[in-house]
Structure 1
Amino acid sequence: MTLLQPSGFIRTGARKFASAPLSAKFGMAVIILYVLTAVFAPHLAPYSEAEIVSAPFDPWSAQFLLGTDNLGRDMFTRLVFGARNTLGIALMTTILAFSIGCSAGLAAATFGGWTDQLLSRLVDVLMAIPQLIFALLLLSIFGTSIPTLIIVIAILDSTRVFRLTRAIGMNIAVLDYVEAARLRGEGPIWIMTREILPNIAPTLIAEFGLRFCFVFLLISGLSFLGLGIQPPTADWGSMVRDSATLITYGDITPLLPAGAIALLAVAINLVVDWFLHWASGLKED
């Protein structure tokens, strides 16, 4: 018998969110705004993503709400499409990283022995090199296409997911009801998916939010360095790089994509903090 069923957890979570603190509601509102912007980007943007509409670095005006970039493309349009590209790629990367990391972590926790040792040592090797340096090296070798970017970052980030899943999964794997499932002949897939996974789901859900945030920041950082999302695809990291020279003239335009990155990171952390507080069972003062 499991301690917690996912369906019941979701229903309880929906009820709890109604009484969530203002910070969590603010974070969720920001996340929803970003998602809506990404989904409806073609309808919100006045121009196409890569269209050159004026001279480089035109100032803010009624026609160009946030001016133009170094090539004469509308900054507002690029900012809106940047939400779709940056968030979409970060989400796909995080899902792939969790698929790899959770599967390997559950296998290590369930089987133990040589399976655990082999996977753990492989992860140790991957984590021995700083993530950003490793990503720069691999992207320099294999290219900077979007599929390559997603695969490289997902593999590197899955090491963190593996460690967390393995650690909390092993705590569950030694409990009595898991041993009872083994004694009655349940297979390892059943034990992983029906006994261990539902009981570590709250921690993994919170970690998914944090991992998404870290992946999102890593992709933006790589794009700023020129090895992330490549032009003419709009991306907030590359937008900061392309318009950085305006800072010397007192123009705050480069701060807009940087602010969009920072605001999303803060919003995700506010929601994750509330979620962890609720999932831990602690009461508000």
Structure 2
Amino acid sequence: MRARDIPPSAWIGIIGITVTAGAAVFAPYVAPYGEREIVGDIWEPMSSTFLLGTDNLGRDLLSRLIYGARTTLAVALAASVLSFSIGITLSFIAAATRGVVDQGLSRLNDLMMSIPTLIFALVLLAVLPQSVWVLILVMAVLDSTRVFRLGRAIALDISVMEFVEAARLRGERTIWIIFREILPNALSPLLAEFGLRFAFSILFLSTLSFLGLGIQPPTADWGGMVKDNKDGIIFAVSAALIPGAAIATLAVCVNLVVDWLLKRTSSLKGGRDDG
């Protein structure tokens, strides 16, 4: 694939994700001030000293935004990877074994999906110890239900194909069939779905932080920054709008890349079918 084959919309998404990831990785080197350092008065306007102004405690908003990118991306990415590991493993086992195992896992998944995700998360986080790892685990388990549903549908379509039946007739084990026959043929739609779930994890984490059950202060994350500075909107202070715009921009960038991957996957599949 050549660079000129990538559409402008996808380039916008790639650049946006790259800039955000770069700021997150090199946050201590590019941030003007420390993550928790109070450097001025509360809600100071944008200036040459504070490019985006200060927050409700007098901390540099640009520095908090950069450090918040690190926290938001790390937690969202960890939750997405874990949710896919859980969802894909269980869905492929269900599709490959079928019978009682498939019915049991599917009904349990339906039960969890019947409860609104946000309410379920708020209840769990309210009773469990507040830590980043608990937050990641709760997000991953709840999101894995969506991954399970998609993974099972894809795996069922693949598992009835001739090469999978041939593997069963050869006496191959279920684990071998899952990782050597089903998974390689399901990678394209699953990678696109991973992008969508990653964008959802960013929005979900920001929502939880805004409600006070996500990343706990004084650690910076974009949803928490919106919560901390929301009262400034009354006084025409844009401190809450900047992290909100960052959340929206990153979600749009991820979706632009995912849309391109979906179109590319569809075109490649169409080309193979025509051939």
TM-score, normalised relative to structure 2: 0.95
Structure 2 unmatched runs, 5+: 271-275
Q: Deviations for 1:81-102, whole angstroms, at most 9, x for unmatched residues? A: 0000001110001000000000
- Give, in whole Å, the separation in 1 of the partners of 2:111 and 2:12: 40
Q: Deviations for 1:244-273, whole angstroms, at most 9, x for unmatched residues? A: 122222222221101110011111111111
Is 1:34 the equivalent of 2:20? yes
Partner residue of 1:239? 225
Is 1:77 the equivalent of 2:51? no
Asked if 1 retains the 8 angstrom alpha-carbon contact of 2:31 and 2:66, the reply is yes
Partner residue of 1:249? 235
Aligned counterparts, 1:31-180, within 5 A: 31-180=17-166
What amino acid sits opposite 2:10 in the alignment? Answer: A
Partner residue of 1:12? none
Deviation (angstroms), 1:190:
1.0
What amino acid sits opposite 1:236 in the alignment? Answer: W
Partner residue of 1:276? 262
Q: Deviations for 1:191-215, whole angstroms, at most 9, x for unmatched residues? A: 1001000111000000000000111
- Give, in whole Å, the separation in 1 of the partners of 2:182 and 2:83: 19
- Give, in whole Å, the separation in 1 of the partners of 2:98 and 2:2: 36
SS in 2 for 1:65: coil
When the two structures are aligned, how many residues end up with a matched partner?
Answer: 269
Deviation (angstroms), 1:16:
5.4
- Give, in whole Å, the separation in 1 of the partners of 2:9 and 2:101: 42
- Give, in whole Å, the separation in 1 of the partners of 2:129 and 2:6: 44
Deviation (angstroms), 1:53:
1.6
Partner residue of 2:211? 225
Asked if 1 retains the 8 angstrom alpha-carbon contact of 2:55 and 2:239, the reply is no
- Give, in whole Å, the separation in 1 of the partners of 2:227 and 2:76: 19
Q: Deviations for 1:150-178, whole angstroms, at most 9, x for unmatched residues? A: 00110000000000000010000001110
TM-score, normalised relative to structure 1: 0.92
What amino acid sits opposite 1:239 in the alignment? Answer: M
Partner residue of 1:9? none
Change (3 A) 1:225 1:140: same
Deviation (angstroms), 1:226:
0.6
SS in 2 for 1:87: helix
Partner residue of 1:3? none
Structure 1 unmatched runs, 5+: 1-14
- Give, in whole Å, the separation in 2 of the partners of 1:24 and 1:169: 28
- Give, in whole Å, the separation in 2 of the partners of 1:249 and 1:231: 23
- Give, in whole Å, the separation in 1 of the partners of 2:147 and 2:245: 28
Change (3 A) 1:68 1:51: same
SS in 2 for 1:66: coil
- Give, in whole Å, the separation in 1 of the partners of 2:4 and 2:94: 38
SS in 2 for 1:50: coil
Root-mean-square deviation (Å):
1.2
> Identity of paired residues, percent?
55
Change (3 A) 1:52 1:153: same
- Give, in whole Å, the separation in 2 of the partners of 1:194 and 1:130: 36
